């Protein structure tokens, strides 16, 4: 149901890229923007504006700014994660170098701010919300890096981290769209909560899909998070609940670089089964999903539109988005 | 004469740092802000506000934002330049690591934007000027990186690069201060031109001081730019004006890592003398300095204040600032 908005975003981004200066440092920016992507966040901005005023294009500048900001974080995160690929193509630091990736990311963030400062819809409220969100996204990324080295992470800490790193930008995308659509502050905040909780549920869903995919195949490594020793909700709960003996074995398996990947994944998966961590993850996901759904009911829009939001939330959680 | 403003900035920065969250990722930010520095740019903002309304504190938020932005560029530039030191202390990426330096820089830039969005003096004009300047600073840094590998750089290209990398932020600091002080647009623009040209003259002055210091000593390596093969105005003019034979020798000296540093510097300096490149640099510096001074005359402020600006410009160029 977001396809219509995605097309608008894709067209607008193409125009935007064409108008960028010819200087070398703009090349990585054009490159990453043209790698495609779901355009999930900016589509939500247009959707939210559409919900309240029927004219999604009113928030077109802000939606593009949000997509640019997301891509800025991807360029810098890929450096930090030493990720060689982004959307099946070389990441920016791989195709150019780390310096060009740092600098083109910085430039991209400046372009975001310029775009926001040139919008006819700008308000102090939007500027403040956006910049507070940007701060939180950086804080979330820093927690993610910290967690890599940390032994015990609580479920609360994990949820806080994914909310900062991912969900606040989804929530902000919706709220900015709502404000521009003329929503009352109460409704804009409800949409923010919807986005925050749905984003959280989706991130947990994503952790689950990595090891329990709905469809196998497509050449994607099942259990990639295990191989990377990523602190997913499953691993966090496993480390917390396992017996002392199993805990030690699990650590050994994760650290053993001689083990074959599929074997490693299968071994950890058997521990997941033993300690029923999938149940814990599914339950946690449901808590946040239900919170998201309950926000919808309170928003001052037609029942038809509420149904639309609910369907969107369900589609998001039911497929490999 | 900027000491009074510097004290205001130092106090305000100390308060600002104390109020930052306790999260790990804020540590590098507090660290670099507390390393000191001349606080040159934010002092100019306060000065400009003072000139037009007599109350420098009116632009205190913007001046702090400008100093934060400057420090954000220092953190990221130090990574790109692999600089181990900043103000005689380990640079951020050296004290922490590259990832923490990238991320704390990004966070610092977000804090800049939050500060600007929270100011009671914010206007669309200030937001647009600031973000356009941020873009230009990134463009300048990218040209600087490009020039390292480029053979022939014209004087115009060099001037364009230093203006983007350095002078536009000085100019922007003054213009924002003037706007907040209530200056007419014409006067704010004249102050911008003053800053742009003075910043350019100062950067050329800085190139000259590296090899022809006014005072020797202080343990600073004379000709550090030559050792780093930095494309200063002197080297650019030398490479352009030297005979084919000398050009080759100069390149060989610069590239020869077996040569002792002082010998290398002395050799290149003898070529500087042969081709009188100091004269060219001094002449170019004078052109921009004179342009800066001529802007002052047109600003609608008292003669006393004009004298103050002129004295400031002269002090800046006469000492090792």
- Non-local (6+) Cβ contacts of B85 within 8 A are B91, B94
Average pLDDT in chain B: 94
**Residue linked to tokens 């914010």:** B122
Residues of chain B found within 8 Å of residue A139, distances taken between Cβ atoms: 21, 23, 25, 107
Cβ–Cβ of B135/A110 closer than 8 Å?
A: yes
SS3 (DSSP) at B30: helix
Residue A158, min C-alpha distance to chain B (Å): 15
User: What topology does CATH give the domain B184-320?
Assistant: Farnesyl Diphosphate Synthase (1.10.600)
| Distance spanning both ends of chain A, measured CA to CA | 12
- Rounded to whole angstroms, the Cα distance separating B102 from B72 reads 9
- Rounded to whole angstroms, the Cα distance separating A184 from A213 reads 40
Range with the poorest average pLDDT among A89-93, B215-219, B298-302: B215-219
Comparing CA positions, the residue from B72, B132, B288 lying closest to residue B199 is B288
Residue B127 near residue B106 (C-beta atoms within 8 A): no
CA B313 centroid distance within chain:
15
Domain ranges of chain B: 1-179, 184-320
Residues of chain B found within 8 Å of residue A23, distances taken between Cβ atoms: 139, 142-143
pLDDT of residue B222: 85
A interface test, pick of B110, B115, B147, B176 with most A CB neighbours within 10 Å: B110
pLDDT of residue B198: 97
Helix axes B40-53, B168-180, angle to 10 degrees: 30
**Residue A272: both structure tokens together:** 């997941």
pLDDT band at B215 (very low <50, low <70, confident <90, very high): confident
**Main-chain phi, psi angles of B112, to 5 degrees:** -55, -50
pLDDT of residue A280: 96
Closest residue in chain A to residue B127, using alpha carbons only: A117
Closest residue in chain A to residue B125, using alpha carbons only: A117
Q: Just give the CATH number of A1-181.
A: 1.10.600.10
**Main-chain phi, psi angles of B86, to 5 degrees:** -140, 120
- Non-local (6+) Cβ contacts of A73 within 8 A are A137, A141
Answer whether A315 touches B (CB < 8 Å).
Answer: no
pLDDT of residue A217: 57
List strand residue ranges (DSSP E) for B190-232, in order: none
**Mean per-residue pLDDT for A3-16?**
96
List strand residue ranges (DSSP E) for B42-161, in order: 85-86, 89-90
| Secondary structure letter of residue A215 according to DSSP | S
CA B11 centroid distance within chain:
22
Residue B46 near residue B67 (C-beta atoms within 8 A): no
Residue A276 clears pLDDT 50, i.e. is over it? yes
Of A98, A114, A135, the CB nearest to B114: A135
- Rounded to whole angstroms, the Cα distance separating B40 from B42 reads 6
Intrachain domains A1-181 and A184-321 with the same fold: yes
Cβ–Cβ of B145/A117 closer than 8 Å?
A: no
| Distance spanning both ends of chain B, measured CA to CA | 13
Closest residue in chain B to residue A21, using alpha carbons only: B139
Cβ–Cβ of B138/A106 closer than 8 Å?
A: yes
Residue A49 clears pLDDT 70, i.e. is over it? yes
Residue A317 clears pLDDT 90, i.e. is over it? no
pLDDT of residue A321: 46
Residue A215 clears pLDDT 80, i.e. is over it? no
Range with the poorest average pLDDT among A21-35, A184-198, B120-134, B146-160: B146-160
Q: In terms of pLDDT, which residue wins out, B221 or A113? A: A113
- Rounded to whole angstroms, the Cα distance separating A93 from B103 reads 15
Beta strands B89-90; B85-86: pairing state = antiparallel
- Rounded to whole angstroms, the Cα distance separating B53 from B210 reads 38
Residue A319 near residue A228 (C-beta atoms within 8 A): no
**Residue linked to tokens 């396992």:** A242
Summarize pLDDT for A111-131 with one digit per residue, the tens: 999 999 999 999 999 999 999
SS3 (DSSP) at A150: coil
Residue B230, min C-alpha distance to chain A (Å): 17
Residues 119-138 of B with CB under 8 A from A: 122, 124, 127-128, 130-132, 134-135, 138
pLDDT of residue B321: 46
Answer whether A82 touches B (CB < 8 Å).
Answer: no
Size of interface A-B (CB pairs under 8 A): 114
Q: Just give the CATH number of A184-321.
A: 1.10.600.10
Q: Measure Cα distances from A108 to A1, A72, B168 in Å.
A: 29, 6, 19
pLDDT of residue A284: 97
Q: Which helix (H) or strand (E) holds B173?
A: helix B168-180
Average pLDDT in chain A: 94
Q: What angle do CA B53, B56, B62 make, to 5 degrees?
A: 115
pLDDT of residue A219: 55
| Secondary structure letter of residue B299 according to DSSP | S
- Rounded to whole angstroms, the Cα distance separating A70 from A133 reads 11
**What share of chain B in percent tops pLDDT 70?**
98
A209: Cα within 13 Å, side-chain hemisphere: 17
Cβ–Cβ of A98/B103 closer than 8 Å?
A: no
- Rounded to whole angstroms, the Cα distance separating B232 from B208 reads 8
CB atoms within 10 A of CB B83: 14
**Residue B121: both structure tokens together:** 């003096």
pLDDT band at B243 (very low <50, low <70, confident <90, very high): very high
- Rounded to whole angstroms, the Cα distance separating B86 from A242 reads 47
- Among the CATH numbers 3.40.228.10, 1.10.10.10, 1.10.600.10, 1.10.101.10, which is that of B1-179? 1.10.600.10
Summarize pLDDT for B9-29 with one digit per residue, the tens: 999 999 999 999 999 999 999
- Rounded to whole angstroms, the Cα distance separating A31 from B254 reads 36
Summarize pLDDT for B156-214 with one digit per residue, the tens: 999 999 999 999 999 999 999 999 999 999 999 999 999 999 999 999 999 999 999 88
**Residue A119: both structure tokens together:** 């919008």
- Non-local (6+) Cβ contacts of B28 within 8 A are B75, B92, B95, B96, B100, B101, B104
**CB-based burial, A253-263: b 16+ in 10 Å, e otherwise:** bbeeeeeeeee
Residue A9 near residue A46 (C-beta atoms within 8 A): yes
Q: What angle do CA B196, B284, B130 make, to 5 degrees?
A: 15
**Main-chain phi, psi angles of A81, to 5 degrees:** -85, 0
- Rounded to whole angstroms, the Cα distance separating A136 from A232 reads 20
- Non-local (6+) Cβ contacts of B191 within 8 A are B48, B171, B174, B175, B177, B178, B183, B295, B299
Report ipTM for this prediction.
Answer: 0.94
- Non-local (6+) Cβ contacts of B35 within 8 A are B86, B87, B89
Answer whether A145 touches B (CB < 8 Å).
Answer: yes
pLDDT of residue B152: 87
Residue B224 clears pLDDT 90, i.e. is over it? no
Answer whether B23 touches A (CB < 8 Å).
Answer: yes
């Amino acid at each position: 149901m977001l396809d219509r908005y995605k097309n608008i975003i894709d067209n607008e981004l193409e125009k935007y890229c064409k108008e960028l200066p010819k200087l070398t440092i703009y090349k990585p920016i054009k490159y990453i923007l043209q790698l495609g992507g779901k355009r999930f966040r900016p589509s939500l901005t247009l959707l939210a504006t559409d919900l309240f005023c029927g004219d999604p294009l009113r928030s077109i500048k802000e939606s593009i700014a949000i997509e640019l900001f997301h891509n800025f974080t991807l360029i810098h995160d890929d450096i930090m994660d030493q990720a060689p690929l982004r959307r099946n193509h070389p990441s920016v630091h791989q195709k150019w170098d780390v310096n060009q990736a740092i600098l083109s990311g910085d430039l991209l963030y400046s372009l975001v701010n310029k775009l926001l400062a040139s919008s006819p819809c700008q308000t102090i409220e939007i500027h403040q919300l956006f910049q507070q969100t940007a701060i939180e996204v950086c804080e979330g990324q820093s927690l993610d890096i910290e967690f890599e080295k940390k032994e015990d992470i609580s479920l609360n800490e994990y949820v806080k981290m994914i909310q900062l790193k991912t969900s606040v930008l989804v929530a902000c995308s919706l709220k900015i769209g709502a404000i521009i659509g003329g929503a009352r502050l109460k409704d804009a905040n409800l949409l923010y909560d919807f986005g925050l909780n749905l984003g959280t549920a989706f991130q947990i869903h994503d952790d689950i899909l990595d090891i329990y995919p709905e469809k196998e195949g497509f050449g994607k490594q099942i259990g990639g998070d295990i191989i990377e020793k990523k602190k997913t909700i499953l691993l966090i709960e496993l480390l917390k609940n396992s017996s002392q003996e199993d805990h030690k074995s699990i650590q050994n398996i994760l650290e053993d670089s001689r083990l074959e990947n599929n074997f490693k994944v299968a071994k950890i998966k058997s521990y997941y089964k033993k300690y029923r961590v999938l149940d814990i993850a599914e339950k946690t996901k449901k808590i946040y999903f239900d919170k998201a759904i309950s926000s919808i009911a309170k928003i001052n829009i037609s029942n038809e539109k509420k149904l639309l939001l609910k369907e969107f939330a369900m589609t998001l959680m039911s497929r490999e988005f």
